[in-house]
């Protein structure tokens, strides 16, 4: 996967001209973000950062990632229904991590009262990097699975046209035709629509829990638009609105501003900073309702890094997915090394190894949204500080994936087009719907490729580090 577009990357003037064409097409296609100056208004918007060229991805790894997505859907759902597994897995973490503890409290409270919802909807995105093997080949390794607010399905539906445009300008029509069509926003919307239908109330709405300052609103709108095209109405409200004007009736039906809610779709609520005391109360109210939550709190917990680490322990997948050895093997093949830091010999040994060869590891707290992981010297300092404290159980240690870098040109508003060494991260969107014990939908619905300069260890598109891309299968 070395320098994919070869000589095209060398001609600076051509790159600059191509970049202008690409940016204009991106704007025309709706590859948009609100600006950081005006994150609550769409009066002035700009393009979401993206690569000038699609990045080469081995077709076999792309296929492998698609082929394991239904297994991941089943696995997340199985974990979310296994209260004993969640309790045992998170027991040491919740003693030290306040955020996970609060989510877990709500989970316990709802279990005690009895879960009111009968329809379950998962919209997730499993993320991977391509580990470079000693023999020059690459292997698909999972970075994490996002079970709440997995984003960029909307914008990823619009970027293929931009990369086709760039290649067409270069008269590379055969290459342009190789760029895969992609429409995750439609697939995600079909999952919401199915859940809405099974909820079974013609006048009920979808409630999208939104942040006040949301630069990525067009990504969300793509899903809303698909729903409206199916006559399903979406209202956008904040947790604060739910506190002020949300309510449950005696059957735990959820009402917002007097209107019944069939599905609650969270695009907020995955980080500690997003919760005031009042917002926690609102989350509990939503969770207690019989509306379909996407995700319900157990499914959010199933997406924690601690759960990911426990899933890689020998025998755990087999116990969670009994009688499914093929699915288990497909899942295991994507796991990188994952190590518990719970107090005890196993954790001690992991810390010793990480301190001996820090470049081989990443230290991860139970956080989402990018920018929280620790690498290199920072990781060493943190491990030295944590190693004799129970606080270490709120982290996990992970093998660091080392993809082979390649050249591409990252386009961002206000920056000149410049070729840099990059690595990519592939995400596959998964959708499932379960009614009682019966799966009524289990699909993959598209992909997202994000690419970043190699000097950034961490962070996604929203964090301003990675940019949108498309796989060019080879
Ligand atoms: P978050 O929930 O914050 O998105 P991730 O686990 O996805 O957390 O990590 C954030 C970013 O850090 C990833 O997008 C990836 O760029 C980098 N990263 C995470 N884990 C690894 C790893 N094991 N090896 C290399 N890079 C990693
Ligand atoms: Mg991530």
Per-residue pLDDT reduced to its tens digit, 401-443 = 999 999 999 999 999 888 999 999 999 999 999 999 999 999 9
DSSP alpha helix (H) spans, 246-375: 277-288, 297-302, 305-311, 316-320, 325-333, 345-356
Query: Which residues lie below 8 Å from residue 130, measured CB to CB, with a gap of 6+?
Result: 1, 57, 58, 61, 138, 139, 140, 141, 401, 403, 404, 424, 426
Catalytically annotated residue among 197, 337, 360, 369: 369
Nearest CA to 175 out of 183, 165, 185, 184 is that of 165
Q: How many CB atoms lie within 10 A of CB 361?
A: 25
Active site residue 442: no
How many Å apart are CA 404 and CA 388, to the nearest integer?
36
The residues that bridge with 208 in the sheet, in sequence order, are 236, 265
| Confidence category of residue 9, pLDDT binned at 50, 70, 90 | confident
The pLDDT of 291-313, averaged and rounded, is 98
Quick check: helix, strand or coil at residue 134? coil
Helix (H) or strand (E) segment spanning residue 410: strand 406-411
Taking the CA of residue 127 as reference, the ligand 1 atom at the shortest distance is: 7
Q: CB under 8 Å, gap of 24 or more: what pairs does 272-281 form?
A: 272/98, 272/99, 272/367, 274/211, 274/239, 275/102, 275/239, 276/239, 278/239, 278/240, 278/243, 279/239, 279/240, 279/243, 280/102, 280/106, 281/243
Q: How far is the centre of ligand 1, averaged over its atoms, from the C-alpha of 443 (Å)?
A: 24
The pLDDT of 441-467, averaged and rounded, is 89
Q: How far is the centre of ligand 2, averaged over its atoms, from the C-alpha of 292 (Å)?
A: 25
pLDDT digits (tens, 9 = 90+) for 92-114: 999 999 999 999 999 999 999 99
Catalytically annotated residue among 25, 73, 126, 144: 144
pLDDT digits (tens, 9 = 90+) for 320-346: 999 999 999 999 999 999 999 999 999
- Asked if 456 and 471 touch (Cβ cutoff 8 Å), the reply is no
- Does residue 390 have a known ligand-binding role? no
- Asked if 60 and 473 touch (Cβ cutoff 8 Å), the reply is no
Q: How far is the centre of ligand 1, averaged over its atoms, from the C-alpha of 356 (Å)?
A: 21
- Provide the terminal-to-terminal Cα distance of the chain, rounded to the nearest Å: 9
Residue 2 confidence (pLDDT) above 70: no
- Quote the pLDDT of residue 272: 96
Residue 3 confidence (pLDDT) above 70: no
- Asked if 448 and 125 touch (Cβ cutoff 8 Å), the reply is yes
| Confidence category of residue 138, pLDDT binned at 50, 70, 90 | very high
Any atom of ligand 1 within 6 Å of the Cβ of 197? no
Taking the CA of residue 450 as reference, the ligand 1 atom at the shortest distance is: 14
Any atom of ligand 1 within 6 Å of the Cβ of 405? no
For residue 45, report the phi and psi dihedrals to the nearest 5 degrees: -130, 170
Helix (H) or strand (E) segment spanning residue 294: strand 292-294
- Does residue 268 have a known ligand-binding role? yes
How many Å apart are CA 54 and CA 56, to the nearest integer?
7
The pLDDT of 62-89, averaged and rounded, is 98
pLDDT digits (tens, 9 = 90+) for 359-381: 999 999 999 988 899 999 999 99
The residues that bridge with 420 in the sheet, in sequence order, are 408
Catalytically annotated residue among 80, 146, 289, 424: 146
- Quote the pLDDT of residue 4: 74
Active site residue 353: no
How many Å apart are CA 15 and CA 198, to the nearest integer?
51
Any atom of ligand 1 within 6 Å of the Cβ of 362? yes
- Asked if 21 and 381 touch (Cβ cutoff 8 Å), the reply is no
Residue 1 confidence (pLDDT) above 70: no
Residue 399 confidence (pLDDT) above 50: yes
- Quote the pLDDT of residue 305: 97
- Quote the pLDDT of residue 448: 98
Distances (CA, A) of 235 to 124, 184, 226, 247, 313: 21, 21, 14, 15, 42
- Quote the pLDDT of residue 167: 97
How many Å apart are CA 277 and CA 298, to the nearest integer?
20
pLDDT digits (tens, 9 = 90+) for 191-244: 999 999 999 999 999 999 999 999 999 999 999 999 999 999 999 999 999 999
Read out DSSP for 186-227?
Answer: HHHHHHHHHHHHHHT-TT-EEEEE--SS-TTHHHHHHHHHHH
Average pLDDT of the chain is 96
Report which protein residue has its CA nearest ligand 1's atom 4.
Answer: 370
């Amino acid at each position: 996967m070395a320098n994919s577009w070869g000589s095209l990357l060398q001609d600076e003037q051509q790159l600059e001209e191509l970049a202008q064409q690409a940016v204009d097409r991106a704007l025309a296609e709706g590859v948009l973000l609100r600006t950081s100056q005006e994150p609550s208004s769409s009066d002035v918007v700009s393009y979401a950062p993206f690569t000038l060229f699609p990045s080469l991805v081995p077709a076999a790894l792309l296929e492998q990632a698609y082929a394991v997505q239904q297994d991941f859907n089943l696995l997340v759902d199985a974990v979310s229904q296994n209260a004993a597994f969640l309790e045992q897995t998170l027991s040491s973490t919740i003693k030290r991590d306040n955020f996970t503890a609060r989510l877990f409290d709500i989970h316990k409270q709802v279990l005690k009262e009895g879960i009111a919802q009968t329809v379950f909807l998962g919209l997730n995105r499993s993320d991977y990097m391509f580990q470079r093997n000693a023999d020059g080949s690459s292997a698909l390794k999972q970075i994490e699975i996002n079970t709440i607010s997995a984003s960029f399905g909307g914008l990823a539906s619009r970027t293929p046209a931009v990369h086709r445009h760039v290649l067409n300008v270069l008269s590379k029509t055969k290459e342009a035709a190789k760029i895969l069509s992609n429409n995750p926003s439609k697939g995600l919307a079909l999952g919401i629509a199915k859940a809405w239908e099974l909820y079974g109330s013609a006048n009920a709405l979808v409630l999208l829990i939104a942040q006040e300052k949301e630069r990525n609103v067009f990504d969300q709108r793509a899903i809303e638009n698909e729903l409206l095209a199916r006559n399903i109405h979406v209202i956008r409200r904040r947790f604060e609105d739910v506190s002020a004007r949300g309510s449950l009736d005696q059957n735990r039906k959820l009402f917002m501003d007097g209107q019944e809610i069939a599905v609650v779709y969270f695009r907020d609520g995955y980080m500690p900073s997003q919760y005031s005391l009042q917002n926690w109360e609102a989350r509990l109210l939503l969770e207690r309702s019989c509306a379909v939550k996407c995700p319900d709190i157990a499914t959010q917990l199933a997406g924690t890094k601690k759960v990911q680490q426990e899933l890689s322990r020998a025998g755990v997948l087999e116990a969670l997915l009994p009688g499914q050895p093929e699915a288990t093997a497909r899942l295991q093949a994507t796991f990188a090394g994952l190590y518990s830091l719970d107090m005890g010999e196993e954790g001690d040994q992991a810390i010793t190894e990480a301190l001996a060869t820090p470049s081989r590891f990443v230290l991860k707290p139970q956080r989402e949204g990018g920018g929280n992981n620790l690498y290199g010297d920072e990781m060493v300092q943190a491990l030295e500080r944590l190693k004799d404290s129970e606080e270490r159980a709120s982290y996990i240690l992970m093998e660091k994936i080392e993809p082979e870098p390649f050249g591409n040109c990252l386009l961002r508003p206000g920056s000149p087009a410049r070729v840099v060494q990059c690595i990519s991260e592939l995400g596959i969107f998964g959708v499932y719907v379960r009614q009682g014990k019966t799966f009524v939908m289990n699909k993959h619905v598209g992909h997202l490729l994000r690419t970043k300069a190699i000097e950034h260890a961490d962070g996604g598109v929203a964090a301003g580090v990675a940019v949108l891309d498309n796989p060019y299968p080879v």
